[in-house]
Amino acid sequence: MYGSCQGTIFGILVDRTGPVVLCILGAVLQSLSLLLMGWTDGNPSNVMDPLLLAFVIGGVGGTALMIQSLKLAFIVAPARFALVMTVANCLVDSSSVVPLGLYRLYVAGVSRGAIFTGYAALCFALSMCLAYSWCGKPSARLHATNQQESDAAESKRENLSTSRPRLHGLSVREQLCTVEFAFAVTFMMTMVFRSNAYLGVIKELLQDLGDAKVDNLYTQVLTLLLPASTLLIPLFDICMKRGGFAVTFLVVLFLGLIWNVVMLIPSLGVQVVGFAAFTNFRGLLFASFFTFIGHTFGNRTFGRINSILWFLTFLTSLLMVPLTELSKAWTGDMTAMHVVLLIVCLPAVIMTLLLALHLRKYPAGDIIQSRQSRPEEAQKARPEV
């Protein structure tokens, strides 16, 4: 929920300032957060708990670094667009395993201050190198892409043919009144809500099923499996390029159905199947969705469209706690909440089918078409500067 709010702010900022500013901002905030984690102690009774402040600052800095990384897909050849967007999103999920590595260093005898100071220095150095790498030709390519999209929009208005997706170069207001945006709103609000709800209730479910009796083994397995989607990046890329957006989103819905049904089965062992389905659901969800947003709406408005979507998702996430409490009041456990998560799938299924019909009418909007019918744009994607 907190990440959704930050995505709203930085989505607007990345379109207006570019990736360099977000890199520098993320470097400073993330490094400061890590230093606070290493050299301060928590005080829950204090309104200004230093550790709580560190987590807040870290969330802001981490979101800034994540949002700018998605712009990389716009400066590569169109055939690599889905792959780069997939890698960026899966690596974000993979970062969840880093704390386990830091904990092993702590167990080995390295002090907390030394661990987080070294991590902060590494974060700052790498982020500043990233900011530097965006200067010059990469930033010029982003500007050139914006110009190409604007030219394509003018051609469409003059009824001239263009191979770019029909929404490229249009204003945000024009893009909002489209089937593509209606799909994006519906799919993101429902699927991100379901993803966040799973992470919010699964640990409680595992405790109810007796995970504490086996030293929280299943909670640890879930944590270890979260970055496993990185191993399937090539398959995610193939799914989008060969199946297209509609097929890929149906796969996302199917994986979501698996973990949702598994949650209704009162067995610890069976939950491992749900863990595997969820980690791939989450990885493919964000990889395919951000690929869809970038490919459909273009670089020029990518950040602003995302900011609107993240804000709406943030509003939906506010329902998570009251729905959880209502579920406990009605059934005494999380069963009602699990059923709600299944019902929430229906609007996304309907909109995915409508998207499939829409992409038949406008095939340039599908990721398959961009690779098969636009080989000449692979050269245009790297303009001379």
Query: Average of pLDDT values for 138-150?
Result: 86
Residue 117 pLDDT: 94
Query: Average of pLDDT values for 310-314?
Result: 87
Residue 123 pLDDT: 93
269: phi then psi, degrees, rounded to nearest 5: -60, -40
More confidently predicted of 103 and 382: 103
Residue 8 pLDDT: 65
So where are the chain's domains?
2-373
Residue 128 pLDDT: 95
Residue 372 pLDDT: 45
Considering the chain, what percentage of its residues have pLDDT values greater than 70?
Answer: 90
Query: Average of pLDDT values for 135-159?
Result: 81
| CATH number for the domain whose boundaries are 2-373 | 1.20.1250.20
Let me know: does 253 contact 296? Beta carbons within 8 Å. no
Residue 4 pLDDT: 53
Query: Average of pLDDT values for 212-238?
Result: 87
Q: Which span out of 41-55, 156-170, 190-204 was modeled with the highest average pLDDT?
A: 190-204
Weakest-pLDDT range from 57-61, 121-125, 151-155, 205-209? 151-155
Give the C-alpha distances (Å, rounded to integers) separating 55 from 321, 347, 367: 21, 34, 37
User: What digits encode the pLDDT tens for the residues 285-296?
Assistant: 999 999 999 999
Residue 240 pLDDT: 93
pLDDT for 249 beyond 50: yes
Residue 351 pLDDT: 96
Query: Average of pLDDT values for 325-345?
Result: 87
More confidently predicted of 119 and 148: 119
pLDDT for 45 beyond 90: no
User: What digits encode the pLDDT tens for the residues 260-280?
Assistant: 999 999 999 999 999 999 999
pLDDT for 330 beyond 50: yes
pLDDT for 376 beyond 50: no
Query: Average of pLDDT values for 39-64?
Result: 80
pLDDT for 369 beyond 80: no
Residue 379 pLDDT: 44
At residue 5 the predicted structure's pLDDT band, cuts being 50, 70 and 90, is low
Q: Measured between alpha carbons, how far is 170 from 5 in angstroms, rounded to an integer? A: 25
User: What digits encode the pLDDT tens for the residues 101-141?
Assistant: 888 899 899 999 999 999 999 999 999 999 999 998 998 89
Weakest-pLDDT range from 14-18, 20-24, 29-33? 14-18
Residue 183 pLDDT: 97
